[in-house]
Amino acid sequence: MSSMFCYQCEQTAKGTGCTVSGVCGKDPVTAGLQDALVGATLGVSQVAHALGQLGVRDHAADVFMLEALFTTVTNVNFDPQRIEPLIRKGSAMRDALKARYEATCKAKGVKAETFSGAVAWGSVKPGEGASIERRIATLGADVAGVQDLLLLGLKGVAAYADHAMILGKEDDSVYAFMHEALAYLAKPDPTLDALLPLVLKTGEVNLRVMELLDQANTGAYGTPVPTPVNIVPVQGKAILVSGHDLKDLEGLLKQTEGKGINIYTHGEMLPAHGYPALKKYKHLAGNYGGAWQDQRTEFDQFPGAILMTTNCIQKPKDTYKGRLFTCGLVAWPGVPHIADGNFKAVIDAASAAPGFTATEPAKTILVGFGHGTVLGVADKVIDAVKAGAIKRFFLIGGCDGAKSGRNYYTEFAQAVPDDCVILTLACGKYRFNKLEFGTVGGLPRLLDMGQCNDAYSAIKVAGALAGAFNCTVNDLPLSLVLSWYEQKAVCILLTLLHLGIKNIRLGPSLPAFITPAVLNVLVEKFAIKPVTTVEADLKAALAGN
């Protein structure tokens, strides 16, 4: 038995699981605490679900569940001192919910359920092995793997739901399902027959959550519009913002206005430039660098302060750790954390740093092709398809990572014929979004649809095109070539499966928690395909397979 075991990301050691330390930088202590936090969350959800069955909702339990699950997503919280209080909070919340549940049962004349907790998911003593290994030994790899497919999908849903909640968009039915699914995961005798419907339901619920987040973002910041984004430095003091949280970016933009400090986006913050309420800030100077996995090099070279929002943090180098800050749920031991939205420390660090000494000749890329923009020219797109100017659409994107093999996506995008449109989203686009693709049918051949959660935009566009052509999405001249890294990619995949979308190519490697038997189910029902070679996959896609 290992001191830790984690296989929730694509880069897991040897393609099977990290057992000594995480490829992400997670150590066994942090891994054990995250397991314990999952166990505490399942315990809370057991009682919250039972209360919900009696018509009683507890919003504090909903918020705790979201934040606890999001905390355990890959590259979010590596700080034991911030995880331990959450475990204690979960334990106390479960006790309080249990007392409320028993009082409610008594008042309604209903027999109270006995809760066993979620011992199999919690922390263990040294030498007893990691919780995942114990579940595999007890339940078998297939059942434990589908348990984890469900859990990791729920973690992704929690991340998106947390972003939406922060901007004021919630849905009690989402919370109710998440508690129900987590309560089932706490059961000691799960079955595949019960787990698989919950997995697909997670995809359905995630579609609703992505809709909520889309409404939250566009409600707060307007509908994204096509926008050229500067990708070279501008002379002056500078702050770099990475992660995903638009509200944190907005707060920083407000607090730095008129201070002579330029704000740059990094990674998944790039789509922010397309939102009218954010692009109005003149000191939103551009985008610096690429995807999250390059941050140790790019942050080292950036001559200003750096703010990490939500996830995607890596172990910082000492050379920039003193000017790195975190906010939201992201954390790294020894890195200052801003919990109150006051970014004065970040601003002071930027003022003390040298900044960029010269302005380089402008170079731009286009963002802002969300569903609002694309559907606004749907008639043009449909006419181009009918006229034969556009032969096929390729959605190439997803979560990026550092593991070898991801050059496949660059080579695939470059190999796509000139009479095809490439849709892209999430940080996977950095593999090719600075290349020149030209135009087709009066449209740019490369359309950046936004962050990973903006898969909702791609779904909306696909649905509208299917309606226009009076066919199903599977009948469209559309191929999905997706990369995955962590749990948000898992829940998006589950959403696509819920929608019945077939022939998805997924890579660069399949999840370690998907056993051969479970993979066979996905292949038979959804024709999900591991990526092979660019030449073979492109030929099959162009043939409609």
**pLDDT of res. 22:** 94
**pLDDT of res. 23:** 93
CA distance linking residue 307 with residue 340, whole number of Å? 14
pTM for the whole structure:
0.96
CA dihedral 134, 135, 139, 145 (to 10 degrees): -130
Residue 207 above 70 pLDDT? yes
**pLDDT of res. 325:** 98
**pLDDT of res. 120:** 65
Q: Read off the pLDDT of residues 142-198 as tens digits, 9 standing for 90 and up.
A: 999 999 999 999 999 999 999 999 999 999 999 999 999 999 999 989 999 999 999
Output b/e per residue, 349-387; b: 16+ Cβ within 10 A: bbeebebbeeeeeeeebbbbbbbbbbbeeeeebeebbee
**Would you tell me the crossing angle of helices 59-71 and 141-166 to the nearest 10 degrees?**
120
Residue 87 above 70 pLDDT? yes
What integer is the mean pLDDT of 294-310?
A: 97
High-pLDDT (> 90) share of the chain, %: 90
Domains of the chain: 13-220 (1.20.1270.20), 227-352 (3.40.50.2030), 370-542 (3.40.50.2030)
CA distance linking residue 289 with residue 307, whole number of Å? 14
